[in-house]
């Protein structure tokens, strides 16, 4: 397997894992707050087959891989019946934000592992500095290729991608555009008339954001990536 194909395989596996954790977290919190709908449908699971959405999990990632841009997408929405919540607003907000929170928890865990690797040896430090000091992840492959004989290379690539993709998904899902998780928070603070119009934006606004909001998304996502990278490169 070439390094390029290995990189694609890593991206796919990490992305599927990240969205599975994200949706499982929604289902777990909803059940905790009184709504068993998702649990009864078997959505508290890391089995990706339970979470795949044809567009968000297959089409968009394939397009991203083809054009060599960061993977962006979503899973099949977790079914939630707010009528089962005891505190409608609080429980809906908690169920919504726990998905992005789960992504940031994984990203932070990956960061801790990378920091440990960087302190394990001079080679580990060199490779971590290389991968964290570049804004475009594709460039790392050519630089790290001559270090492919080290077991650290695949470990670092996998762990960094785990951090990177989970940051992207965490930030992306907090954007208050329906039906993303951030919209479930904002809508509770809108007047009823505005809320109805806001909810009708739906998938049209989301697809417009994905296809035409590249620069906007970059301004939101990459400062967070840079923050994590700054921890990696700190002496």
CB atoms within 10 A of CB 212: 10
Separation in Å, CA 224 to CA 28, 158, 219: 26, 19, 9
23 is catalytic: yes
Tokens 């999990």 correspond to what residue? 57
Query: Of the residues 23, 142, 161, 192, which is catalytic?
Result: 23
Residues annotated as catalytic (active site), given as ranges: 23
């Amino acid at each position: 397997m070439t390094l390029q194909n290995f990189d694609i395989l890593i991206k796919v596996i990490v992305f599927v894992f990240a969205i599975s954790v994200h949706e499982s977290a929604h289902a777990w919190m909803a059940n905790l707050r009184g709504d068993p709908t998702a649990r009864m449908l078997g959505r508290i699971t890391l089995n990706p087959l339970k979470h795949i959405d044809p567009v968000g999990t297959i089409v968009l990632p394939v397009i991203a891989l083809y054009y060599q841009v960061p993977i962006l997408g979503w899973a099949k929405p977790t079914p939630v019946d707010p009528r089962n919540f005891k505190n409608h607003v609080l429980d809906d907000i908690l169920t919504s934000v726990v998905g992005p929170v789960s992504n940031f928890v994984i990203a932070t865990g990956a960061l801790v592992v990378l920091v440990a690797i960087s302190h394990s040896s001079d080679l580990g430090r060199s490779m971590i500095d290389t991968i964290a000091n570049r804004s475009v992840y594709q460039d790392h492959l050519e630089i790290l290729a001559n270090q492919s004989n080290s077991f650290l290379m695949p470990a670092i690539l996998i762990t960094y991608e785990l951090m990177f993709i989970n940051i992207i998904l965490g930030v992306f899902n907090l954007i208050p555009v329906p039906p993303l998780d951030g919209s479930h928070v904002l809508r509770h603070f809108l007047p009823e008339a505005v809320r109805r119009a806001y909810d009708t934006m739906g998938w049209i606004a989301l697809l417009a954001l994905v296809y035409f909001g590249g620069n906007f998304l970059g301004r939101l996502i990459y400062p967070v990536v840079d923050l994590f990278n700054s921890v990696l490169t700190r002496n």
